[in-house]
Amino acid sequence: MATRVAQLPAEAPALSPERPVTWPKRTKARLANGLEVILAESHAIPKFHGQLSFRSGNAAVVDRGPGLAEMTATVARTGTKLRVSRQIEEDLRRIGADLSSSAGADTTGIGFAGLSELAEPLLGLVNELAREAAFPEPEFERERRQKLEEVKLDRTQPSFLASERLRKVLFGAHPYATVAPTESQVVAYKRSDLMQVYEEFYTPENALLVMVGDFDTAVMMKSIEKTFGAWTGKKPTIKTAPDPAHPKGRRVYLVHVPGAVQTQILAGCHAITRKHADWIKIGLTNSLYGGAFNSRLVMNIREDKGYTYSPRSGVHALRQYGYFSVSAAVRSDVVAASLTEMFYEMDKLRSLPVPEAELADARNYLSGVFSMSLATQDGLLSQLATVALNDLPDDYLETYREKVRALTPADLLATARKYFDSANMQIVVVGDRAQIEDQAKLFGDLEIYDAQGSKL
């Protein structure tokens, strides 16, 4: 046995015929109070995952205080009219559940997961947090002190410093420019401000409840009606925000971290939201550029040149605006070399059609990965919530792969020319000034900041 010569083909076997993907059945409903509900069954484990989302987040109240929606979500879980903080946490454990509450720029969410056999008490607790949070004074004070330490810690993270600067540069006066509060802004939070946000945001007309898991849809829908049916509240009024900055020309922003042993690069430009007709095109173009292991950028600056472990690019869709970005943490002596390759690959996609074979690989990649993302309860939950919160069409899941497969080299060329705006990329480098300033300034006018955000 051990001496036998390998009998295997020297070529990789071809793909066998594809088995059709069965898209999960969804049941949608709107309760009389306006609460939108989406349910999908998934029986792999005797559990379920859920998310109660509100279509308002930090951006809507940035003028009252950056991060105020996030702080509201944090304190909302620390006490209700019926339960103190400790009781809430123990009750969650008693029913084998996990719960989180947080807010992003555009939405606020209570995420939860628990055992199917104990779904009722978990729904009851979610309902209580959404409707009867008490914002106890001592809990508020404690969470605020906690947040102060967190915002200080954030400023020691290279990736935080990079994205904070890029968002400032891309969005200017628009609320999306702010990713986190300063220490003094945290100190200025008032309990009454949180309660006001709670009152405005946490209403059934503003809410979406998505649940995926091991339950019977009809039974679960009844439970939901029973639990949330008596809740009332209007949609909050939306204020119009100032237009974002649209910076023209490449500029470089260096965030100086003394003693850094590596440089975090992050470059970006304005792109589109998920609702835009080009969304799937930019997704595929990004996947070819730096969105997959097999992408051009990863092959170039990681597998060929060894400049970095972690190069990637992505399209970040906020509700009103989106942006494209590329990042890598690189050896500090190859900052200029890495940026050169990032732009080279971007410009190549803007100038030359993608060879048909490479495009076919990328199409397969994106459509395969898309179906896998639906294979777990929380994966499916996140897709369903994304579709609903972005008001995408109901058949988004079913038609996504066809749309990906229809794209041509000409589509990609046009997409790259439109959105991989290399002439106007804003470049952030976070590292030790002494090692990278000379390299950074080769790419555009340079501004230098410290980790606290002050211009040097």
Partner 1 sequence: MNRNQIAMEYTTLANGLKVVIAPDVSAPVVTVGVYYKIGFRLEPQGRSGFAHLFEHMMFQGSANAPKMQHIKLINSSGGLLNGSTHYDVTNYYEAMPSNALERVLWLEADRMRALKVDDENLRNQRDVVKEEVRVNVMNQPYGGFPWLDLPPVAFRNWANAHNFYGDFADLDAADLADVQAFFKTYYLPNNAVLLVLGDVKADEGVALVEKYFGDIPAGAPPPFADPREPEQKEERRGEVEEKFGTLPAMAIGYTVPERRTTDWCAMALLDQALHGGRAGRTYRELVLEKQIAVEADGGIDDIFGYNGPTQMVTRILHKPEYSAEKTLAAFDAVIREIQEHGISEDELNQLKVKWRSDYYSTLEGGRGGMPRYGLMHLLACFTLFDNQPQLVNSILDGFLAVKREEIQAVAKKYLRPANRAVVFRAPAKANVKEAA
- Residues of this chain, 360-389, that bind partner 1 according to CB under 8 A: 360-362, 364-369, 371-377, 379
Q: Which of 304, 319, 150, 173 is nearest to 242 (CA)?
A: 173
Closest CA to 394 of 65, 11, 27: 27
Candidates 27, 28, 63, 145; binder of partner 1 (CB under 8 A) is 145
Per-residue contact flags (x/-) with partner 1 for residues 203 to 242, judged by CB under 8 A = -----------x----------------------------
Which of residues 96 and 242 has its CB atom nearest to partner 1 in the complex?
A: 96
Look-up of token digits 């000034």: 433
Q: How many residues bind partner 1 (CB under 8 A)?
A: 93
Least distance from partner 1 to the Cβ atom of residue 257, Å: 8
Q: Among residues 28, 30, 152, 246, which is the contact residue for partner 1, using CB under 8 A?
A: 152
Q: Which is nearer to partner 1, 134 or 329 (CB)?
A: 329
- Nearest approach in angstroms of CB 295 to partner 1 is 9
**Binding window for partner 1 (CB under 8 A); candidates: 54-62, 221-229, 358-366, 411-419:** 358-366
398 part of the interface to partner 1, by CB under 8 A: no
Q: Does 309 bind partner 1 (CB under 8 A)?
A: yes
Pull the structure tokens for residue 240.
């119009």
Query: Could you say which DSSP state residue 40 is in?
Result: E
Four-residue CA torsion sign, 73, 195, 77, 232: negative
Q: According to the binding rule CB under 8 A, does residue 310 interact with partner 1?
A: yes
Tell me whether residue 158 or residue 244 sits nearer to partner 1 (CB atom): 158
Give yes or no for residue 6 binding partner 1 (CB under 8 A).
yes
Q: Does 94 bind partner 1 (CB under 8 A)?
A: yes
Note whether 409 and 252 are within 8 A (CB): no
Strands (DSSP E) found in 287-392: 312-317, 322-330
Residue 346 and residue 368: Cα distance in Å, rounded? 25
Residue 299 and residue 183: Cα distance in Å, rounded?
41
Among 85, 182, 223, 340, binds partner 1 (CB under 8 A): 85
Amino acid occupying residue 319: R
Stretch near partner 1 under the rule CB under 8 A, chosen from 32-40, 43-51, 163-171, 229-237: 43-51
Segment holding 219, helix H or strand E: helix 217-228
CB 426 within 8 A of CB 268: yes
**Residues found in the chain:** 456
Query: Site for partner 1 (CB under 8 A): which residue of 149, 216, 398, 402?
Result: 149
